[in-house]
C-alpha cells in the first residue's frame, strides 16, 4: 500500500478563490413535505430508491431494525420485502440486479450491534424466485460492525462490485477508536452463481479506523470510479491501479481537535460549474456537529488533491446524512444535510433535528459560500437521506428516514 498525503497550499490551487469563473444563480428553492410512513420501525436505518415492481417509476425503500419495506410510487402503498427473518438490526441496503433476471435485487447488511467488535455481522442479498417470493441469499462475511455497502466498479471490470465497510476494526475499543486493527475495506465480485455464498473478495485497505461512510464515484474525473471514505483519520480516496494495486490518498484532515470522537463521519462529492474544482462535503467529527466542505480538484497528473477545510455550519447536532444533487436550475450541486438530534437551546441557526439545504454561491470577492435553507426543522430526526426525481418532472426530490422520529418523508421539489 502506497500512501500519498496531501500537502496544503500547493501552487496548483490555494484557498477557495475563483477569480475567472462564476457559479450560476437560480431562483429560490421550495419543498413540499409528504409523510409516507409515520412509523416504519423503532429506527429507519436507511432509505434508497429502486424500481421494485418494474413499472418504470422509482419506488422508495426503507430499512428498519427488523424489516425491509418498499413504498409503491405514486400511491406509496407499503409492502414488505422481508420482516423478522434477518439478524437484528438491519443497517444498510443497496439495490442492483444481482442475478441478471431483469428485476431489482438488494444487498443487505444486518446483525448490527455496536459496540461489539468481535461478533461477525451478516451480509446477504434479497432476490425473488420465479413466483415473485422474496428469498434471502447469505454471502460469506466474517467482519464485525458491518455498517455501509455500495455498488460500483472501482476495479474497472465493467461489472459492478459490492464495496463493504465495517464501522470499526476487529477487537477495537472506545473511547479511542483510532487504535488497534484497522477497518477492512472489501471489494466483492458477484460470482457466476450469485446464490453461491463465497463471493470473491479483494482487500482495498485495512489501515483506517471508524469508517462511517463512503461513496463510489469518479473523484479524479478520469473516467474511472474511486472509493471516497470518511474515517477517524480524515477523508481519503482509494484508487486501484490497472496492475491491481490499491493507492490511498488523504484529501482532508477531518476534525482532529475534538474529544473523544475525531475525523469525519459522512461524505459526498459535489460538482460545481467551475473547471477548477468540485467540493467534498462531510460531517465532522464522527457523529459530529460541523458541516464541512473541501473545495478542490485533482491535478493533471493525478498525484495529489489540494483541498482546504472550510466549516460552513455549526452546530448541527449529530449530523447523520450528506447528499449532493442539482436541485435547481443552475448547473451546481446543492448540499443536503440530515440532522439527527436538536441543537442546544440558544444555538445559532435552526434548532432541528431535520433536513437542511446548502446552496453554493460566490461572494463579492469570488469566494465559495453556501446559502442555507431549512427544508424540515423539527419533524425529521434524520438517519439517512438521498435525492432523486420521483415524479418525472426533471427535478430531484429528497427522501429521508428518521431515527428518533421513526418516519419516512418525501420533500417534493416544487419550482417557485
Closest alpha carbon to 380 in 341, 336, 414, 322 = 341
- Cα separation, 294 vs 119, in Å, equals 36
Give the pLDDT confidence score for residue 283 in this predicted structure: 99
**CA–CA distance from 102 to each of 21, 105, 139, 285, 332 (Å)?**
44, 9, 21, 41, 33
CATH match for 2-414 among 2.130.10.10, 2.40.33.20, 3.40.47.10, 2.40.50.140:
2.130.10.10
DSSP-derived letter for residue 255 is: B
> CB atoms < 10 A from the CB of 72, how many?
16
- Mean pLDDT in residue range 391-405: 98
Q: How far is CA 136 from the centre of its chain?
A: 24
- Cα separation, 195 vs 159, in Å, equals 17
DSSP-derived letter for residue 263 is: B
Q: Is the pLDDT of residue 165 over 60?
A: yes
Q: Is the pLDDT of residue 305 over 90?
A: no
- Cell 493533471 locates to 300
- Residue 80 or 4, more confident: 80
Residue range 316-328, pLDDT digits in tens: 999 999 999 999 9
C-alpha grid cell for residue 406?
421513526
pLDDT band at 332 (very low <50, low <70, confident <90, very high): very high
- Cα separation, 167 vs 169, in Å, equals 7
- pTM, whole model, 2 decimals? 0.93
**CA–CA distance from 132 to each of 59, 63, 89 (Å)?**
17, 20, 25
Residue range 20-58, pLDDT digits in tens: 344 555 667 999 999 999 999 999 999 999 999 999 999
Give the pLDDT confidence score for residue 296 in this predicted structure: 84
- Residue 297 or 203, more confident: 203
- Segments making up each domain of the chain, as ranges: 2-414
Give the pLDDT confidence score for residue 68 in this predicted structure: 99
What mean pLDDT is reported for the chain? 92
| Residue 362 near residue 17, CB atoms below 8 Å | no
Angle value at C-alpha 396, between 293 and 353, nearest 5 degrees: 55
Q: Is the pLDDT of residue 104 over 60?
A: yes
Q: Is the pLDDT of residue 155 over 90?
A: yes
Q: Is the pLDDT of residue 1 over 70?
A: no
To which H or E segment does residue 279 belong? strand 278-284
**CA–CA distance from 36 to each of 69, 90, 112, 408, 410 (Å)?**
12, 20, 26, 6, 7
- Cα separation, 398 vs 385, in Å, equals 7
Give the pLDDT confidence score for residue 304 in this predicted structure: 57
Q: How far is CA 35 from the centre of its chain?
A: 22
- Cα separation, 250 vs 244, in Å, equals 20
Q: Is the pLDDT of residue 352 over 90?
A: yes
| Residue 71 near residue 78, CB atoms below 8 Å | yes
Give the pLDDT confidence score for residue 66 in this predicted structure: 99
> CB atoms < 10 A from the CB of 125, how many?
23
Amino acid at each position: 500500500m502506497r500512501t500519498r498525503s496531501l500537502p496544503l497550499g500547493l501552487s496548483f490551487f490555494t484557498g477557495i478563490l475563483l477569480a475567472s469563473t462564476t457559479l450560476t444563480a437560480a431562483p429560490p428553492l421550495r419543498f413540499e413535505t409528504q409523510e409516507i410512513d409515520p412509523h416504519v420501525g423503532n429506527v429507519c436505518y436507511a432509505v434508497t430508491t429502486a424500481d421494485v415492481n418494474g413499472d418504470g417509476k422509482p419506488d422508495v425503500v426503507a430499512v428498519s431494525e427488523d424489516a425491509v419495506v418498499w413504498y409503491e410510487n405514486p400511491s406509496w402503498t407499503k409492502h414488505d420485502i422481508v420482516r423478522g427473518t434477518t439478524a437484528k438490526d438491519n443497517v444498510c441496503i443497496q439495490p442492483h440486479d444481482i442475478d441478471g433476471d431483469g428485476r431489482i435485487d438488494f444487498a443487505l447488511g444486518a446483525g448490527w450491534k455496536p459496540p461489539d467488535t468481535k461478533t461477525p455481522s451478516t451480509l446477504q442479498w434479497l432476490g425473488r424466485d420465479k413466483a415473485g417470493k422474496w428469498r434471502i441469499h447469505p454471502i460469506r462475511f466474517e467482519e464485525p460492525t458491518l455498517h455501509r455497502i455500495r455498488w460500483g466498479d472501482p476495479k474497472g471490470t465493467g461489472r459492478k462490485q459490492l464495496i463493504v465497510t465495517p464501522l470499526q476494526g476487529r477487537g477495537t475499543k472506545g473511547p479511542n477508536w483510532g487504535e488497534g486493527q484497522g477497518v477492512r475495506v472489501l471489494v466483492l465480485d458477484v460470482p457466476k452463481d450469485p446464490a453461491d455464498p463465497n463471493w470473491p473478495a479483494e482487500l482495498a485497505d485495512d489501515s483506517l479506523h471508524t469508517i462511517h461512510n463512503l461513496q463510489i464515484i469518479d473523484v479524479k474525473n478520469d473516467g474511472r470510479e474511486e472509493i471516497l471514505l470518511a474515517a477517524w483519520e480524515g477523508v481519503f480516496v482509494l484508487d486501484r491501479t490497472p496492475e491491481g494495486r490499491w493507492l490511498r490518498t488523504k484529501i482532508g484532515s477531518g476534525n482532529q481537535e475534538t474529544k473523544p470522537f475525531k475525523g469525519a463521519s459522512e461524505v459526498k462529492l459535489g460538482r460545481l460549474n467551475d473547471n477548477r474544482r468540485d467540493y467534498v462535503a462531510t460531517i465532522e467529527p464522527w457523529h459530529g456537529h460541523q458541516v464541512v466542505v473541501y473545495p478542490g480538484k485533482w491535478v493533471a497528473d493525478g498525484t495529489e488533491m489540494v483541498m482546504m477545510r472550510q466549516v460552513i455550519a455549526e452546530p448541527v447536532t449529530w449530523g447523520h446524512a450528506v447528499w449532493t444533487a442539482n436541485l435547481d436550475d443552475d448547473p451546481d450541486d446543492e448540499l443536503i444535510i440530515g440532522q439527527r438530534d436538536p441543537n442546544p437551546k440558544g444555538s445559532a441557526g435552526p434548532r432541528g433535528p431535520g433536513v437542511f439545504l446548502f446552496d453554493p454561491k460566490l461572494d463579492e470577492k469570488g469566494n465559495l459560500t453556501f446559502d442555507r435553507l431549512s427544508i424540515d426543522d423539527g419533524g425529521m430526526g434524520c438517519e439517512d437521506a438521498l435525492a432523486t426525481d420521483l415524479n418525472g418532472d426533471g427535478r430531484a426530490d429528497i427522501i429521508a428516514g428518521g431515527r428518533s422520529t421513526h418516519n419516512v418523508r418525501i420533500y417534493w421539489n416544487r419550482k417557485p
